[in-house]
Structure 1
Amino acid sequence: MTNIKTARLIFICFALPHSFEAALNCTSPSPEALNEALERNLFSKNQVRPVKRFSDTLNVTIGITLVGILGVDEKAQSLTTFIWQFLEWDIAGLNWDEEECGTKKVSVLREKVWIPDIHIAEFMDEDKSPKAPYVYLLNTGHVYDSRPIRVVSSCRLGIYTFPFDVQNCTLTFESYLHIASDITMIQGATAANILKESRKVIQTNGEWELADIKVAPSTLVLDEETFSEIAYYIILRRRPILYVVNLLVPSCFLLTLDMFSFLLPLQSVDRCSFKMTLILGYQVFLLIMNDLLPVTGEIIPIINVFFSISLALMVASLLETIFISNIQSSSSQYSMAPNWLSVFVLRYLAVLVCIPPKKKSNRITVSLHPPAKGMTKLLFILFCFSKELQGKSDKTSSVETPQDPALDELRKLRNDLTAIRLQMERRLEGTKNSKEWYMIGIVIDRLLFGMYIIFVSVSCITILCIWLVSKSYVK
């Protein structure tokens, strides 16, 4: 009896480990025999997690390959991509002999086996990708699930540096129901391998290019429950050449043309009409290209600020041209410029724009171009005649004589000469005022021209720096 009990104990010790294996017994190495064995031992148990005990954790290995970048919607803040999703897990206790059943792996219907409820947390729309009805089942109990997914995911897009922007969108894979103690997500391929494989098979070659892919396992705590998840960071870079050619280059051309219009002489060219034509052309250009600019209610792209400042400078240059034209045509009718304005503009701003104020000289300037001989004789005769007329009027004022018509005419002529002299004095004073206003206009014109040069230079340097930073993104 003792020997029999000992033999039974030895048999039980050897049989217990193998009883958990639940090896399939195939009557023949044929598909029918393997299918019958799977029906008996696997397909009827696809309602619960394939673990030995409920306390066991099922490890699900995940991997993806980015196949296409279908679109980025700045207004809806969404990213549309096409990926291949790979899931792998083990069915506890399932195995079969390759020679006995005739194959190492077999494809089975997805509905026949238990599938983990892995989903993408950022999903925003229905998956319209082709359905994959089968999964691979290996003789070791390993399940390999591969299927395509069209992902419309939410993504916080930053368009401040448009069209040189780089976007970082996240795809977070997690179980919808099972907590971390039930299902644990495990990273499959490394980020470098995923990026390499994605660039190899990617199908789209549109506005966006794949810059980098990063992977970070993490956990989500929700209602005191912990969920295992893996986040894939899809980093995209916009190809800016379309917007540079269609937006920035024409705008810079119009802005440069308006800047160099300051070199046109106001005396011989109607600069106002020229600038008005440029403003209208620039406005039409912005209306036509409005569809190319991204629209969001949160952030204004820096390129929109550039366009607005460019239009504001064009309008300011037109107003300044109208001001200078008015000074040149009717400044003689103005009163003297305020002292504070003359000091601020002619003494400080003039030095700032490289127009130094003229120093007063004590030397007497002799004109090398004397007036014409006829004008000199006329002035001399009028001077002598006015003196003689003044002497006669003094004599007649003391002695009463009958009125002489010639004397009345001479008095009228004297009054006319006095009026001419007063008018000439006023004209000389008006010429001084007009020169002062004219110099104020010249200084303002030079100041706006310098602002144009500074703005265009700073804008070009900023655009180039942003472009170089986006191009030098560390992969």
Structure 2
Amino acid sequence: MALDIFRIHRSPFLLSMWLICLFQGNFSLLSLSDSDGARFIKTFADVFENTAIRPVKNFTQPLEINLTIQLHAILGLDEKQEILTTYLWMEQRWFHDFLVWDPSDFSGKDLVALPKEKLWLPDVLILEMVDEDKSAETPYLYVHHTGLVIYGKPLRIVSSCNLNILYFPFDVQKCPLTVSSITFSDKDMKLHIKETSEEITSKSKKVFASKGEWELLQITASEKSVLEDWGSYDFISMEVTMKRRPMFYIVNILIPSAFLMLTDIVSFYLPAHSFDRASFKMTLMLGYSVFLIIVKDLLPSNSSHTPLIAIFFLVSLTFMVSSLFETIIIINIIHQNAKQRKPIPAWMRTIVLNYGAKLFWRRGKPPVYHQISRVPLATKITVQDCEMRSSLSEEIDALQALLNRIAEGVEEIKQGLERHDQERELEDEWLQIGHILDCVLHSVYCIFFTAFLLTLAVTWLM
């Protein structure tokens, strides 16, 4: 079995061994020391060994560093810790005075890629960084035959940013990114931004890959010099202006909250004398509280600012609680016990039953027992009328006693009907007061809530 396998693979094996021997024979004729790369390394060996010194012939002359920056993505913004995570590309260019050659000496090669460890590199950093750079390493840089060094690298910047979340989710944030040297002052190294703010913004928008929560609006860059105790330092001050995309929060937070508040306003049209209205408002308020617990993780938290949307939720919950209190008061007015019901004060009768009824087009109901309570006085049978007939017989005396009892009973019935009529009329008046007060409080509720919404909308949009 093993012999058969060897016979099958014998031909490819012999062919590969022949090729290896052929390549080894050819390589033996070549010398690595004769290549252009080897001669280039030998020519600038002293330059590659002295990487700790600025590449300038005149040591008092500052080295000019030209920067090009492009923002590729906004990876995230932590409102609680006020940390911005961005991904950008930074390219640095400077002239190396000791790395100049004639392209004809190296087969016309005018641009060479070298390991970055072979040359001096500027210590340019972003001062707002609060975490290490975890982007991919770029092991090489380009060197032009004129001495121009081009070093580009990606940066994953985790920087601090003072946020203003007052207008969340319609907020616009401005985060600074300051580029500077940690060691060299402006006497040793000067920083320059190669492009204008408009060019940086335009190029960044073309390569901007993030389609998430944030939209890039503008990048401004300027050169500054800050005087410290031990020298003056150059800075490249940039400011990234970005706008939050609010559609996610509108759909998942604002619209459901608006529906719940609209339901609370419409619930005023439920009968005020029904206990179902109070239970409905309590259920609605409980549902709104559960909704706030659910959306709590979507809201930004910051110790220095409170977003307007949190104020909106708090005021909405306050309006719901006040509407529940209003319902309790109205139900207490309408459903109070007849024995506890007091006469209506004159000022309340004038203000509520007169002016309030005219304002809300409500009229009091006529007393139900008003016609029954009027018993004509002529029908009253007195004792004097019965004594005029003293000549009647004993049957008439018995009838007289019976009529006296009937007259007393009728009088008691009349007084009872009058009391019932007064109680019913007082009950109707208190019921009418309850409905009018309900309309008044409903109107005040709608006016104040509408004013609050308009103020909030103007503040957000402006």
State TM-score, norm by structure 2: 0.79
CA distance in 1 between counterparts of 2:282 and 2:435 reads: 20
Counterpart contact for 2:369–2:417, Cα < 8 Å: no
After TM superposition, give the deviation of residue 104 of structure 1 in Å: 1.0
Residue 446 of structure 2 is matched in structure 1 by 453
CA 282–92 in structure 1, closer or farther in 2 if over 3 Å, else same:
same
Counterpart contact for 1:180–1:226, Cα < 8 Å: yes
What's the CA shift string for 1:151-181, capped at 9, x where partnerless?
A: 1100111111111111101110011121122
Check if 1:85 corresponds to 2:72: no
After TM superposition, give the deviation of residue 49 of structure 1 in Å: 1.5
After TM superposition, give the deviation of residue 252 of structure 1 in Å: 0.8
Question: 47, 61, 70: which is aligned to 1:65?
Answer: 70
Counterpart contact for 1:331–1:434, Cα < 8 Å: no
Q: 5+ residue gaps in structure 1? A: 1-26, 360-365, 394-403, 470-475
CA 414–283 in structure 1, closer or farther in 2 if over 3 Å, else same:
farther
After TM superposition, give the deviation of residue 321 of structure 1 in Å: 1.4
After TM superposition, give the deviation of residue 101 of structure 1 in Å: 2.3
What's the CA shift string for 1:391-448, capped at 9, x where partnerless?
A: 779xxxxxxxxxx999999988887766666655555555565455445433432233
Residue 382 of structure 2 is matched in structure 1 by 388
CA distance in 2 between counterparts of 1:313 and 1:367 reads: 37
Residue 342 of structure 2 is matched in structure 1 by 335
Counterpart contact for 1:28–1:100, Cα < 8 Å: no
Question: 238, 244, 249: which is aligned to 1:238?
Answer: 244
Check if 1:100 corresponds to 2:94: no
CA distance in 1 between counterparts of 2:367 and 2:276 reads: 34
After TM superposition, give the deviation of residue 141 of structure 1 in Å: 1.2
Check if 1:138 corresponds to 2:144: yes
CA distance in 2 between counterparts of 1:180 and 1:426 reads: 102
CA 61–406 in structure 1, closer or farther in 2 if over 3 Å, else same:
farther
Letter in 2 for 1:47: A
CA distance in 2 between counterparts of 1:340 and 1:369 reads: 26
Residue 25 of structure 2 is matched in structure 1 by none
Residue 304 of structure 2 is matched in structure 1 by 298
| Percentage of matched positions with identical amino acids | 36
Residue 20 of structure 1 is matched in structure 2 by none
After TM superposition, give the deviation of residue 197 of structure 1 in Å: 1.9
Counterpart contact for 2:167–2:460, Cα < 8 Å: no
After TM superposition, give the deviation of residue 327 of structure 1 in Å: 1.6
CA distance in 2 between counterparts of 1:465 and 1:98 reads: 66
Residue 317 of structure 1 is matched in structure 2 by 323
Residue 175 of structure 2 is matched in structure 1 by 169
Counterpart contact for 1:61–1:88, Cα < 8 Å: yes
CA 89–448 in structure 1, closer or farther in 2 if over 3 Å, else same:
farther
CA 168–390 in structure 1, closer or farther in 2 if over 3 Å, else same:
farther
CA distance in 2 between counterparts of 1:154 and 1:272 reads: 50
CA 367–319 in structure 1, closer or farther in 2 if over 3 Å, else same:
closer
> What is the aligned length?
421
Residue 308 of structure 1 is matched in structure 2 by 314
Q: Name the SS for the 2:262 alignment partner.
A: helix
After TM superposition, give the deviation of residue 459 of structure 1 in Å: 5.2
Counterpart contact for 1:327–1:434, Cα < 8 Å: no
CA 459–416 in structure 1, closer or farther in 2 if over 3 Å, else same:
same
CA distance in 2 between counterparts of 1:38 and 1:341 reads: 103
RMSD: 3.8
Counterpart contact for 1:163–1:238, Cα < 8 Å: yes
CA 326–56 in structure 1, closer or farther in 2 if over 3 Å, else same:
same
CA distance in 2 between counterparts of 1:222 and 1:415 reads: 111
CA distance in 2 between counterparts of 1:153 and 1:408 reads: 108
Letter in 2 for 1:116: P
After TM superposition, give the deviation of residue 139 of structure 1 in Å: 1.1
Question: 72, 75, 82: which is aligned to 2:80?
Answer: 75
Check if 1:203 corresponds to 2:209: yes
Q: 5+ residue gaps in structure 2? A: 1-32, 388-396
After TM superposition, give the deviation of residue 142 of structure 1 in Å: 1.2
Counterpart contact for 1:61–1:89, Cα < 8 Å: yes
CA 208–391 in structure 1, closer or farther in 2 if over 3 Å, else same:
farther
After TM superposition, give the deviation of residue 57 of structure 1 in Å: 1.3
State TM-score, norm by structure 1: 0.77
Q: Name the SS for the 2:302 alignment partner.
A: coil
Counterpart contact for 2:273–2:335, Cα < 8 Å: no
Question: 329, 332, 355: which is aligned to 1:326?
Answer: 332
Letter in 1 for 2:64: N
Counterpart contact for 2:165–2:300, Cα < 8 Å: yes
Q: Name the SS for the 1:119 alignment partner.
A: strand
CA distance in 1 between counterparts of 2:384 and 2:316 reads: 67
Residue 5 of structure 2 is matched in structure 1 by none
Counterpart contact for 2:368–2:421, Cα < 8 Å: no
Residue 156 of structure 1 is matched in structure 2 by 162
Counterpart contact for 1:74–1:294, Cα < 8 Å: yes
CA 30–313 in structure 1, closer or farther in 2 if over 3 Å, else same:
same
